[in-house]
Amino acid sequence: MAIGGVYNLRIHHDDVLQPVLRFLKVMEVPGLGPEGARAQEELGLFMGGLDAEASKFDERLAARKARMAARG
């Protein structure tokens, strides 16, 4: 599924999680206490890490496709 582009980390990040978080305005909630602010920060770090992992996957997939295309 991931190699075929049906569903992968990039799709999950960009088309599932980001729209939901934007719609709910999770990262914009004001006045959170220390625990809520910490959760917001952790979520931001998680999303950043997921974006980085999705980028790595995209690069590996592009390299794989290039190798396959070079083989003919």
Tokens at 43, concatenated? 């979520």
Q: Per-residue pLDDT tens for 21-54? A: 999 999 999 999 999 999 999 999 999 999 999 9
Q: Dihedral angle at the C-alpha atoms of 24, 27, 32, 34, nearest 10 degrees?
A: 140
pLDDT of amino acid 13: 96
